[in-house]
Each structure stands twice: as C-alpha cells, then as structure tokens.
Amino acid sequence: MGRKFIVGGNWKCNGTSDEVKKIVSMLNEAEVPSQDVVEVVVSPPFVFLPMVKSQLRPDFQVAAQNCWVKKGGAFTGEVSAEMLVNLGIPWVILGHSERRALLNESNEFVGDKVAYALAQGLKVIACVGETLEQRESGSTMAVVAEQTKAIADRVSDWSNVVLAYEPVWAIGTGKVASPAQAQEVHFELRKWLQQNVGAEVADSIRIMYGGSVNGANCKELAAKPDVDGFLVGGASLKPEFIDIIKSGTVKKTA
C-alpha cells in the first residue's frame, strides 16, 4: 500500500514554557521507529512553535493548530499561512472539531483554509468527524462526506493532505471508537474519495484516527487496514505518546 504511518500530537491550548521544554526533552530522548516507518508531527500552540521547532529532534516535525483563511493583513488575532512558511513550520492542522464547534468554522470556511494553506506550500492535516447525535441518527458518513466534499471542491492536488477522522464524541472523552468503528468510517471515506476524487488519491491518502487514542488502545486501532496513523490530544502530552508512535510498526508485520 505504501502509506507511511503518521502520528500527530495536538497539544491544543496547553502548556507553559517549562512544560513544553519537558515534553520536548521527553520526545528527544525517546527511542522510536525511524522516520521512514513512522512520521511524527507535534503541534504546540502558536507561541511555542519557534521554541519547539528549534529544540525538537530533526526527525520530528511541527504543525500549527490553525491558520488564517487568506493572506494576512488587518485580521487581529490571526496567524497567516505565510507566517508559518516564513518560520519554517511545514504543517498545519485545519478544521479541528473544537474550532468547527466553538468558533463556528463552517465546512466551506475549512475548505477555503485548506486550499489557501496548500497553495502557500504547507502540508495540511484536515479534520472531519461526526457528533454523537449525528452518529446516533445514522448520518455519520453523510456528515464526513460533506466535510470532505467542501475540501474536494477546492483542492485538486491531495499529495500534501492527510485526513484525520475524529468522531467528536470520542475527543477528550476517554470514549475511543472501537477499532471496527474507526475502520468502517476510514473504509467508507476512502471509498467516497475513490468515487468522488479518484482511485489514486483514495489509495494513497493517509487517514489518521483521532479521539481518546492512548498507549493502551493504539495497537489494535493501528492494525486496522485503513487506519494510517493517529491524531492524539491528551495523550500527546504524556510519555505514552511514545508508545503510540511505536504502534505504527504493526503495519510492517501486518
């Protein structure tokens, strides 16, 4: 298949400079599979990006947690894609459910952001996922497809996009999707991409799972054929993040 496993650590709005230094040391000292086997991307808050980038081991990369939808200018409080490029930040997470829900980011707005960030040369982790209510009403795939369509309508080159399927009900709740539930949505999402974007993109795009991934549940999830990595929140601040990175080696023996 040739999809390299990718593990992202989304630190969200957490950390002091001392805490960030500790996490970086923990990562720098860790023994992990080579970057040819597992790609690692950590995403500190904006203010810590330069510090983390300068102190972090070179085989791990950094991501911003968001960026502005177009060129910078009179947009108080925003950070532009150009600024990230200028600082040498290669990745950005866009469309996280916390931003969709709390900051009212619509599918179209997220699609515009993804297209703009890609055009500036950033790599994008684009998040999609349904709420509990949507799952229970049977509309999981319709919701995920609609979110993905808003990206597909604006993007033609998918080579710098990784999708993160993150069911909202699993984020920060300790209620992880079962490996079968994750696999089912990843499979359906890949099928949607095949039908609506193209077979090559569907086959090559990496789909991460996110939502209460931890050191104990990661191995079983990682073994599922359409799970190509993880986007990790809470556990990315803890030593068990290393175990999550290591879980990517199951693909080699699968």
Q: How many whole angstroms separate alpha carbon 41 and alpha carbon 139? A: 31
Which range touches ligand PGA (CB under 6 A), out of 45-53, 192-200, 208-216, 238-246? 208-216
How far does CA 112 lie from the centroid of its chain?
17
Active site residues: 96, 166
Binding of ligand PGA at residue 233 (CB under 6 A)?
yes
Residue bearing tokens 């808003």: 150
Binding of ligand PGA at residue 217 (CB under 6 A)?
no
Please choose, from the candidates 104, 98, 54, 63, the residue with its C-alpha nearest in 3D space to the C-alpha of residue 81. Answer: 63
Binding of ligand PGA at residue 244 (CB under 6 A)?
no
Determine which residue in the list 79, 171, 202, 244 makes contact with ligand PGA, applying CB under 6 A: 171
Determine which residue in the list 95, 129, 167, 210 makes contact with ligand PGA, applying CB under 6 A: 210
Which range touches ligand PGA (CB under 6 A), out of 55-63, 70-78, 82-90, 204-212? 204-212
Subset of residues 73 to 132 that bind ligand PGA, contact rule: CB under 6 A: none
Using DSSP, state whether 161 is helix, strand or coil. strand
CA distances from 196 to 67, 94, 112, 126 (A): 27, 21, 18, 17
Could you tell me what percentage of the chain is helix, strand and coil, using 3-state DSSP and rounding each to the nearest 5? 45, 15, 40
Binding of ligand PGA at residue 56 (CB under 6 A)?
no
Give the contact letters, 3-32, x = binds to ligand PGA (CB under 6 A), - = no.
-------x----------------------
> Minimum CB separation from ligand PGA for residue 73, in Å?
29
DSSP assignment letter at 177? P
CB nearer to ligand PGA: pick between 144 and 202: 144
Binding of ligand PGA at residue 234 (CB under 6 A)?
yes
CB nearer to ligand PGA: pick between 61 and 212: 212
Binding of ligand PGA at residue 231 (CB under 6 A)?
yes
CA distances from 194 to 19, 43, 99, 203 (A): 43, 30, 28, 8
Which range touches ligand PGA (CB under 6 A), out of 29-37, 59-67, 182-190, 230-238? 230-238
Supply 180's token pair.
């079968």
Binding of ligand PGA at residue 232 (CB under 6 A)?
yes
CA distances from 12 to 5, 66, 93, 99, 183 (A): 22, 10, 11, 11, 25
Strands 5-10 and 229-232, by their bridges, are parallel
CB-neighbour burial class of residue 252 (10 A; exposed 0-12, middle 13-18, buried 19+) = exposed
> Minimum CB separation from ligand PGA for residue 15, in Å?
14
Determine which residue in the list 183, 212, 217, 247 makes contact with ligand PGA, applying CB under 6 A: 212
Query: Using CB under 6 A as the criterion, which residues of the chain lie in contact with ligand PGA when the complex forms?
Result: 10, 166, 171-172, 210-213, 231-235
